[in-house]
Amino acid sequence: MIRDFKQKLKDDFVAGIFSKTSDPAFIEIMGRGGFDFVIIDLEHGPNSVQTVQNLLCAAEVTGIFPIIRVKEDNSSLIGEVLDIGACGIQVPHINNADDAKEVVMLSRFAPLGMRGVCRFVRAADYSSMDRFSYFSEANEAVIVLQIEGPEGIENIDRVLEVEGADIIFIGPYDLSQSLGVPGEVDHPSVEKKMKEIIEKSVRGGVAVGTFVDTYENADKWRGLGVKYIAYSVDVGIFYDKCVEVVKRITGGGV
């Protein structure tokens, strides 16, 4: 599954969505709907390692690629979510090369890192998997680093030099706050910085991702070489649909 995802990312484009619900049905629906990946969010929202385990089972049922966004203070969380079967991790607020190196260290078994070893976990099929196959397959988990703050922007060149990151993800909302225009994700200064990060990452051979909540921005960033786009959040999409339905059935038009 991980190899196919990486290949599609390399050759083409992957379409995803954020999830902040705790109901596995939502994850199944996203898979049935055709999304390539889901980012299950532990940075914002009510989920915990315990609730996420069921969401990962639901992802497997429909073949949607599950990435878990951990919190900024992630030292124990990265190993925990990989142990329960996340195929990738996404880490917010990467500020410098040391942050990036630490993520790689916590995500990979030796010789690439020093992730804590346990083969009696869901990711190793509760010990039924050959231990050496598990260690080598686990070391292919997708690593996504979020650049969204002033230090991260400043240090992007050094971050790109760190071996092991698969995707540099630009968080436009935090980035807009960093640039003094909170929430204005279409502000020219935000757009300019995003374009700079995209150019540098593409030049450095690292795929770029971002978050969008309009189709226009999805088209714009895809056209500029962004290959991993998370379109909005399950709860937001559901809310928008509710508003539309209520307007329609009460005669208010759409």
Residue from 45, 88, 172, 209 in contact with ligand 3PY (CB under 6 A) = 172
Element (H, E) at 169: strand 167-170
Smaller CB separation from ligand 3PY, 77 or 124: 77
Phi and psi based region of residue 127 (left: phi greater than 0; alpha: psi -120 to 50; beta: remaining): left
Does residue 66 touch ligand 3PY according to CB under 6 A?
no
Does residue 31 touch ligand 3PY according to CB under 6 A?
no
Q: Which residues bind Mg ion (CB under 5 A)?
A: 148, 171, 174
**Least distance CB 211 / Mg ion (angstroms):** 8
Angle at 214 between CA 208 and CA 215, to 5 degrees: 80
Contact track, ligand 3PY, 182-221, x by CB under 6 A: -----------------------------x----------
**Which amino acids are annotated catalytic?**
44
Does residue 174 touch ligand 3PY according to CB under 6 A?
yes
If contact means CB under 5 to 8 A according to the sort of partner, which of ligand 3PY, Mg ion, none does residue 172 touch? ligand 3PY
Q: Which two tokens stand for residue 12?
A: 């083409």
Q: Which two tokens stand for residue 177?
A: 């706050």
If contact means CB under 5 to 8 A according to the sort of partner, which of Mg ion, ligand 3PY, none does residue 85 touch? none
> Which backbone phi and psi does 143 adopt, to 5 degrees?
-115, 120
Q: Which residue has the tokens 């390399």?
A: 10
Q: Which two tokens stand for residue 168?
A: 């540099």
Smaller CB separation from Mg ion, 66 or 171: 171
Residue 210: which of 174, 165, 254 has the closest Cα? 174
Smaller CB separation from ligand 3PY, 148 or 166: 148
If contact means CB under 5 to 8 A according to the sort of partner, which of ligand 3PY, Mg ion, none does residue 83 touch? none
Q: How would you class 111 by CB atoms within 10 Å of its CB: exposed for 0-12, middle for 13-18, buried for 19 or more?
A: exposed
Q: Which residue is nearest to Mg ion (CB)?
A: 171
Cα 39 to Cα 19, 195, 223, 224: the distances in Å are: 6, 23, 22, 22
Contact track, ligand 3PY, 80-109, x by CB under 6 A: ------------x-----------------
**Least distance CB 81 / ligand 3PY (angstroms):** 17
Q: Which amino acid, 102?
A: E
Residues 241, 254: Cα–Cα separation, whole Å: 10
Query: Where on the chain is the footprint of ligand 3PY (CB under 6 A)?
Result: 92, 146, 148, 171-174, 211
